[in-house]
Structure 1
């Protein structure tokens, strides 16, 4: 059974400080957008051209192939507040051509990515959100690589209307006792979805799908699943870090929590990737430390490693994040593929008797309803009275993420999690052929994601349970 959406409109902040949230789609608007053609901007080290079709206005600006080539738009807005800055561009190369974006002399987007569009006649948009002052504003984009910037067609400026989203209501989260609590100190239960591995299914994480997740599913949290091996982070750290940055901004724009998943799986010992993890989380925490919707999941499914080994890893990693983001909540995977040790022949007693020496963190548990029956459920039940827990991954199928759905056992788990206010994210938000992927195969090639017609049976089931989420107490 679904219910009326809990979100309601609230007034947008009118803070004057320039800040930005980089996204790949336009923001929700309350007034007509205004387009500024790049050929009318102030150009430094660039030229107006019209030799590639598809532009608006009379042409586009071709940046010189040097760093510091720039465009400066003069933009007028009626009132101070947050505005979306949508840059329309073409990049016929296969190389990202990032730009710095400054508003009235203040940097609001550092190295904003403008990836290849496939051809110089193919145009796409990249959007940043920044606070503007009433009246005249100077918005400057500056190339930061020797190849210069992309071909710049236009800048569209639009107002942004804030809403009482999960993040707007709950604010900065913290662990209080065994619960995840909101800014009012009240225990809450977050419910949402995990992406599949972004090296394989990034096409499923885009404007239309995330709009559906936030607006149709009423999700509170997006788990961003970045594999380390298996063709993931280790193959191109810069690319994958930038992907995660972008997904964080997309979740932020929609008022969802962003759960950054360091998806180490093989090797199972997280210490094997310790140096990589320090590099990655230092940048993520530094870039997003001023946001209040970031959760750091530092070890997905440790396996074939002792609890002592995981504890050692966590006690090295948590201070790395705390150095940049002192109040960010951290999640740590438990042994036995995040089974509280059960899949490794151990139990939660290993953790209870030797807890991580840190604060404001939670342990994670994973289950697959068709595989993980009484022994796993009982371990979760015992641990929930002793450890702060969050279920960062589960499915209604077997542990392979495939096979028949056991909705009865899955509901038993979810009823328990609701009673204990233990949050969860479901695996997975993709159109993979397996039954655990919520979308029918081929869905991600299109732009229709809302409703149930595009969903597999597991998708219909989990969407309904996300839509009946926590009411988030504030008093």
Structure 2
């Protein structure tokens, strides 16, 4: 499978500096009716309203209230002095102790990020959180994080960490409701591997179904508040895979920017009750050891910040190729302990040989993994397929492997191995039938408007900001996979 899915031609797509942090976050409250037949679902209940706290009404230190740039809410915004330590502090009330989603609306007309520390009740909850450029002082964006609050009054402070000061801050929005009980992440809670299955907090085997992003360096503009709302409530997806390419203009070019994009998307998916696969999208070079040092840095920060969450999975090597299984295993056994230092519970997904085909694309099979599994607990092995290219040999390998190993299909398409060409829905359905019978979780490639047939949206949809719901913006593959994600889940809780 040389080149992997979507190889070649993608460098023409451009994503702006704001990437996935643009767009206000709205919780998809109750969008999924778990176990209810599709035709019997009523309208989703309205999300609990987040409470906006205007910056101009907060306590200020070395900042001024202004109204000389349009687009703000309330009567104005706070312009931080250009000095380290300037801050805005709000007092917010919570009816009860628990998790809260904090969303800061801001503008940054400079070319550089203006990072800030966020503290809640004096405890640092976001260290040097990036507030990237929004293009102009009249363009507003949001940064979101999730934290714990106490019952009653809470203080939230945003403090500039550089001599440039902070961005212009419009308001702080606080949502203390959290994901409602009917969302996939709320029903299933902390996942773990039990035998050859992925199990929920009740120890019951489940199957997750969802979508993978395209590379966020190209298609971050397809991951907005509106599109993620649609994925959670119109598509009824259980899981979003966030694909952070390492090369090809990705992470290695700007680690801070791409790590912050992942932080933002984790928070936004959590607010909508979806699971998130943090995908370290190594592709070329095919030896995962080439990126081991960067992977240690990346996953250390992700695990430190989000390890307490229960809606994560870590995919540590997208598609190894041209190397032996022992080489991949060595990489996994060096990286997994780094993650476990900060997050002992989240399942880790390990890529397999030959573009995550269990070696089939290079003449091998699953027996090499069965004979020499990774020496770590709570892990699964990944398998990728593209139905028009990967026929019965691959299907049979997946079937055999799932009998002996925990498997997660973190990428598949109905097209050829490059994610383009004609759709083979019949072959793809054979795979889906197998995965349903074995409770193998799956994620489809990809939730973007790339020109290839494997991207679910028609070209131009993301630039036009939708429409995200329904089928009018979807290619045939998008209509097909949306229909199969939308079918009712079966999440046992007894």
Q: Given the two structures, how large is their TM-score scaled by the length of structure 1?
A: 0.91
Residue matched to 2:480:
461
CA drift at 1:184: 0.9
Q: 1:87 to 1:399 in 2, by over 3 A?
A: same
- For residues 195-235 of structure 1, the C-alpha deviation after alignment (integer angstroms, 9 at most, x for no partner) is 00111000011111111111111111111111111111111
Does residue 265 of structure 1 match 2:265?
Answer: no
Gap regions ≥5 residues in structure 2 = 1-20, 30-45
Aligned partner of 2:338 among 295, 306, 320:
320
1:276-315 alignment, distance < 5 Å:
276-315=294-333
Report the secondary structure of 2:137's partner residue: coil
2:22–2:141 CA contact under 8 A, matched in 1: no
- For residues 245-266 of structure 1, the C-alpha deviation after alignment (integer angstroms, 9 at most, x for no partner) is 1111111111111101111110
Does residue 330 of structure 1 match 2:348?
Answer: yes
- For residues 256-310 of structure 1, the C-alpha deviation after alignment (integer angstroms, 9 at most, x for no partner) is 1110111111011111111111111111111111011111111111111011111
CA drift at 1:467: 1.0
Residue matched to 2:117:
100
Does residue 145 of structure 1 match 2:177?
Answer: no
Residue matched to 1:376:
394
CA drift at 1:33: 5.3
- For residues 18-63 of structure 1, the C-alpha deviation after alignment (integer angstroms, 9 at most, x for no partner) is xxx9995144576665543323322111223333333344432211
Residue matched to 1:15:
none
Gap regions ≥5 residues in structure 1 = 1-20
1:64-75 alignment, distance < 5 Å:
64-75=81-92
2:243–2:280 CA contact under 8 A, matched in 1: yes
Residue matched to 1:37:
54
Report the secondary structure of 2:345's partner residue: coil
Residue matched to 2:77:
60
Aligned partner of 1:193 among 187, 192, 211:
211
Does residue 474 of structure 1 match 2:493?
Answer: yes
CA drift at 1:418: 0.6
Does residue 126 of structure 1 match 2:158?
Answer: no
Q: 1:384 to 1:53 in 2, by over 3 A?
A: closer
Q: 1:157 to 1:391 in 2, by over 3 A?
A: closer
Q: 1:56 to 1:171 in 2, by over 3 A?
A: closer
Residue matched to 1:18:
none
Q: 1:206 to 1:32 in 2, by over 3 A?
A: closer
CA drift at 1:448: 1.9
CA drift at 1:78: 5.4
Residue matched to 1:154:
171
Q: 1:144 to 1:237 in 2, by over 3 A?
A: same
1:191–1:469 CA contact under 8 A, matched in 2: no
Q: Distance between the aligned counterparts of 1:52 and 1:22, measured in 2?
A: 18
Q: 1:324 to 1:390 in 2, by over 3 A?
A: same
Residue matched to 1:244:
262
2:113–2:132 CA contact under 8 A, matched in 1: yes
2:145–2:264 CA contact under 8 A, matched in 1: no
Aligned partner of 2:200 among 182, 193, 201:
182
Q: Distance between the aligned counterparts of 1:30 and 1:353, measured in 2?
A: 49
1:157-236 alignment, distance < 5 Å:
157-160=174-177, 162-163=179-180, 164-236=182-254
1:24–1:250 CA contact under 8 A, matched in 2: no
Q: Given the two structures, how large is their TM-score scaled by the length of structure 2?
A: 0.87
Q: 1:78 to 1:384 in 2, by over 3 A?
A: closer
Q: Distance between the aligned counterparts of 1:105 and 1:23, measured in 2?
A: 28
2:144–2:267 CA contact under 8 A, matched in 1: no
Q: Distance between the aligned counterparts of 2:49 and 2:416, measured in 1?
A: 49
CA drift at 1:85: 3.7
Q: 1:32 to 1:376 in 2, by over 3 A?
A: closer
Number of residue equivalences:
455
1:23–1:249 CA contact under 8 A, matched in 2: no
Q: Distance between the aligned counterparts of 1:426 and 1:357, measured in 2?
A: 29
1:26–1:127 CA contact under 8 A, matched in 2: no
Q: Distance between the aligned counterparts of 1:149 and 1:72, measured in 2?
A: 13
- For residues 353-376 of structure 1, the C-alpha deviation after alignment (integer angstroms, 9 at most, x for no partner) is 222222111111110000001111
Cα-Cα RMSD = 2.1
Q: Distance between the aligned counterparts of 2:200 and 2:74, measured in 1?
A: 48
2:144–2:264 CA contact under 8 A, matched in 1: no
- For residues 117-157 of structure 1, the C-alpha deviation after alignment (integer angstroms, 9 at most, x for no partner) is 21112223334444544544332211112211011223344
Residue matched to 2:360:
342
